[in-house]
């Protein structure tokens, strides 16, 4: 995968602002790389006209001395569940094929306001339901290090695109692993911020008590800058929280005396030997740099996936009820009446994984089962929150593997949905308790990337990024 690497995002933006670099050329570089690497199937659509027009506009602003912004002329790729004004937004699903976004996601709005240019929409598991992009209704994205393997999911198109230098950064969404797993499998940085830190307005909803938006980048520094642009309250998403008053790019890099707990449950016997060794080596380097490493436990962690696979489908079944074939999206025109039109359109428009989750969700929310499944899962969620609080009273951060295995083979888990779900085992905890978590490259094992997961308490995103950047430096 020899490709021309991009400069750091801040340098690209400064170059465009000063006129040393041209946005038009950056956009053409992105387009050429996407076309050259088309066989990886990372991209659903390249936004040729829109991107070229905006690049032209940015260059004109720069040459007339106007202040553009911190992402001036920087190309980026949006996961195809972000509404980008005027562009087709499918969430990689047949039911949304042909849907043109009549408005724009707040996150995209904020990136563009700082001069960034959306050059393409990236592939994902349809509606972000999956861990490999194999649930995309269109095609499966290939891993940048081994085309016979998956890139992870659901933001697999975004991760492969960033790894192959198609753009300096891409956006992702993370409901249970979807930014961090593909970041780990593709050897890039993937940040899942605190719940509510980035507005979800204009992003196709999956499970609203868990969904967050995060960047995929090549470095922690780039991730911090993109987060800083996207973060903060938004009237259009009432779950958003106050951002840090300090910039997320102002990072403390001191590792000395930092208390880091190695999460036992994320380093257990299920972790493959090569992954384990890579993580243990990283821990040794952190120790040598002065970090205080200890072991820590979240005893209920093994239950987290069961909690997740009740709450997530329950919320999915609710959010996906809006795809009814009447107002937008696929509609079966031979239906005899309205009720059949709903069932026919949804039955033919949704892929298998969406149907599975809708039906599981309907089951756990139905009267008679609600208390035993949904309410119980919400209560075990409280138990997890309390255990995380107790752990963070002892340590500043926690650390573990992102995934128990390296990237798996395409087709390896598609016959068994439960096995596919288990790929998320080490990641859903952060979503259930709302804390920030980041995957950074820890090294390689047998020619495949291994991700290191770092976690911090809620709203400590800036501190987490500082630790991640310092860790990135000691691992380099």
Partner 1 sequence: MAKLTREDVLKLARLSRLELTEAEIDEFRGELSEILQYVEQLQGVDVSDLKPTNQVTGLTNVFRKDEIRDYGYQPAELLKNVPQVQADRIKVKRMVV
- Cβ 340 to partner 1 shortest distance, Å: 7
- Cβ 197 to partner 1 shortest distance, Å: 9
Candidates 203, 223, 170, 253; CA nearest to 436 is: 223
Task: Say whether 79 is catalytic.
Answer: yes
C-beta of 257 vs 368, nearer to partner 1: 368
C-beta of 165 vs 194, nearer to partner 1: 194
Burial 437-446 (b: 16+ CB within 10 A, else e): bbbbbbbebe
Residues 6+ apart with CB under 8 A from 43: 34, 77, 120, 121, 122, 123, 157, 161, 166
- Cβ 386 to partner 1 shortest distance, Å: 8
Instruction: Name the catalytic one among 131, 132, 136, 178.
Output: 178
Task: Say whether 355 is catalytic.
Answer: no
Q: What's the token pair of residue 235?
A: 């009237």
Taken in order 369, 370, 371, 376, the sign of the CA dihedral is: positive
Instruction: Name the catalytic one among 79, 258, 413, 469.
Output: 79
Number of Cβ atoms within 10 Å of the Cβ of 85 = 17
C-beta of 139 vs 363, nearer to partner 1: 363
- Cβ 402 to partner 1 shortest distance, Å: 21
Residues 6+ apart with CB under 8 A from 444: 187, 278, 450
Q: What's the token pair of residue 5?
A: 């690497």
- Cβ 436 to partner 1 shortest distance, Å: 12
Q: What's the token pair of residue 467?
A: 């630790």
Largest CA distance in the chain: 71
Q: What is the DSSP track for 328-371?
A: SS---TT-SSHHHHHHHHHHHHS-HHHHHHHHHHHHHHSTTTTI
For tokens 């291994």, the residue is 450
Active-site positions? Answer: 79, 154, 178
């Amino acid at each position: 995968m020899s490709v021309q690497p991009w400069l750091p995002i801040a340098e690209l933006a400064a170059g465009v602002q000063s006129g040393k670099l041209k946005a038009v050329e950056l956009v053409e570089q992105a387009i050429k790389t996407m076309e050259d690497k088309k066989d990886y199937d990372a991209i659903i659509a390249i936004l040729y006209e829109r991107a070229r027009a905006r690049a032209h506009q940015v260059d004109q602003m720069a040459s007339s001395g106007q202040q553009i912004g911190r992402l001036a002329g920087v190309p980026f790729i949006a996961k195809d569940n972000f509404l980008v004004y005027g562009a087709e937004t499918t969430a990689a699903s047949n039911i949304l094929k042909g849907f043109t976004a009549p408005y724009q996601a707040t996150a995209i709005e904020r990136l563009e306001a700082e001069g960034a240019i959306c050059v393409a929409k990236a592939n994902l598991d349809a509606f972000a339901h999956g861990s490999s992009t194999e649930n995309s209704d269109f095609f499966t994205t290939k891993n940048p290090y081994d085309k016979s393997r998956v890139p992870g999911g659901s933001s697999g198109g975004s991760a492969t695109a960033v790894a192959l230098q198609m753009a300096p950064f891409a956006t992702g969404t993370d409901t249970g692993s979807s930014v961090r797993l593909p970041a780990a499998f593709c050897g890039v940085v993937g940040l899942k911020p605190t719940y509510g830190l980035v507005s979800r307005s204009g992003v196709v909803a999956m499970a609203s008590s868990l969904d967050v938006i995060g960047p995929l980048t090549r470095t922690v520094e780039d991730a911090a800058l993109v987060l800083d642009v996207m973060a903060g309250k938004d009237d259009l998403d009432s779950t958003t929280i106050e951002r840090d008053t300090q910039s997320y790019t102002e990072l403390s890099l001191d590792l000395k005396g930092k208390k880091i707990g190695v999460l036992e449950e994320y380093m257990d016997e299920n972790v493959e030997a090569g992954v384990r060794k890579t993580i243990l080596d990283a821990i040794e380097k952190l120790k040598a740099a002065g970090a205080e490493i200890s072991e820590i436990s979240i005893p209920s962690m093994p239950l987290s996936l069961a909690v997740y696979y009740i709450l997530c489908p329950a919320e999915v079944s609710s959010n996906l009820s809006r795809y009814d074939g009447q107002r937008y999206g696929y509609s079966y025109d031979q239906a005899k009446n309205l009720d059949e039109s709903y069932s026919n359109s949804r039955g033919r428009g949704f892929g298998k994984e969406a149907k599975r989750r809708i039906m599981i969700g309907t089951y756990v929310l139905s009267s008679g089962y609600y208390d035993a499944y949904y309410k119980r899962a919400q209560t075990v969620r409280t138990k997890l929150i309390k255990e995380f609080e107790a752990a963070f009273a002892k340590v500043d951060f926690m650390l573990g593997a992102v995934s128990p295995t390296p990237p798996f083979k395409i087709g390896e888990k598609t016959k068994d949905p439960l096995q596919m779900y288990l790929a998320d085992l080490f990641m859903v905890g952060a979503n259930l308790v709302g804390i920030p978590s980041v995957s950074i490259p820890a090294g390689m094992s047998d020619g495949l990337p291994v991700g290191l997961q770092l976690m911090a308490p809620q709203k400590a995103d800036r501190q987490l990024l500082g630790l991640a950047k310092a860790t990135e430096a000691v691992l380099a």
